[in-house]
Amino acid sequence: MGAKGVSKGAGHPALCDVELVTVLSALAEPTRLRIVAMLSEPGGERAWKDIDLPIAQSTLSHHLKILRNAGLVRNRTEGTRCFVSLREEEMEGRFPGLLETVLHCRDR
Amino acid sequence: MGAKGVSKGAGHPALCDVELVTVLSALAEPTRLRIVAMLSEPGGERAWKDIDLPIAQSTLSHHLKILRNAGLVRNRTEGTRCFVSLREEEMEGRFPGLLETVLHCRDR
DNA sequence: TTCGATGATCGACGATCATCGAACAGTGAC
DNA sequence: GTCACTGTTCGATGATCGTCGATCATCGAA
């Protein structure tokens, strides 16, 4: 166990260890940007299975891992299910305004 | 010639044709992010030769092309010399706050 | 016209990436 | 225990990327 009681293979990095370029790389991919935008909608948390995109399950898992490593999203396991959410406040502390600006630019 | 009297092999895209993901991809590389930060410093315009980084000349040309295609920088040819500058106001019109936020996040 | 300088373009290379199906590991239900 | 379900991990494959040296096109100067 890393820092908290986290989910399976994950491991969430401390935001201070995350580089800006890592975050930008994570966001610079259409599918991942779409996931982040989806998670930013009201409701906050999203069940894994509710993220339905035209990609294989293993591909989605791969993208979520990249978003996790970039400190953008958080995994929470509840029983056999998994929930994903944005690390909005923490990202705001590390990279002020970044997430909000990117999301705002996305749907202008 | 594309739209304006532009420089050599370049061709600057209209900002409305540039996708957000393209901009993020362009910024998601250490060398290019460094170039953009360099161009954002007081003085605005930079002579090609004054951009000295530990990379080959052809590599720099390649990175500047990517930044150009992303609408981030502009090339101006004067005789045999070339000057590079940020398209700050135009980027602000297309992606409000993005450039400023990213640059601010870079050197916190 | 010939020369030197400048910056773009051209392969080529190794590395990284997005994608997939298959196999694996953890959980709750039976 | 066994089964079904869920999400991760493992290769593998084809595409893209960053990098380089070499070549090319353009310009001012001699």
Q: Is A42 exposed, middle or buried, given 0-12, 13-18 or 19+ CB atoms closer than 10 A?
A: exposed
- Record: fold of B16-106: Arc Repressor Mutant, subunit A (1.10.10)
Chain B residue whose CA is closest to A106:
B20
Domain ranges of chain A: 16-106
CA B17, CA B99: separation in Å to the nearest integer? Answer: 17
CA B105, CA B108: separation in Å to the nearest integer? Answer: 6
Q: What is the pLDDT of residues A48-73, one digit of tens each?
A: 999 989 999 999 999 999 999 999 99
Would you give the distance in Å from CA B56 to the centre of its chain? 18
Mean pLDDT of B41-70: 95
CB contacts < 8 A, A to B, total 56
Q: What is the pLDDT of residues A27-37, one digit of tens each?
A: 999 999 999 99
Instruction: Count CB-CB contacts under 10 A for residue A37.
Output: 15
Position A3 pLDDT exceeds 60: no
Position A106 pLDDT exceeds 70: yes
Mean pLDDT, rounded, of chain A: 91
Helix H or strand E encompassing A64? helix A57-69
The answer to whether the Cβ–Cβ distance between A102 and B105 falls below 8 Å is no
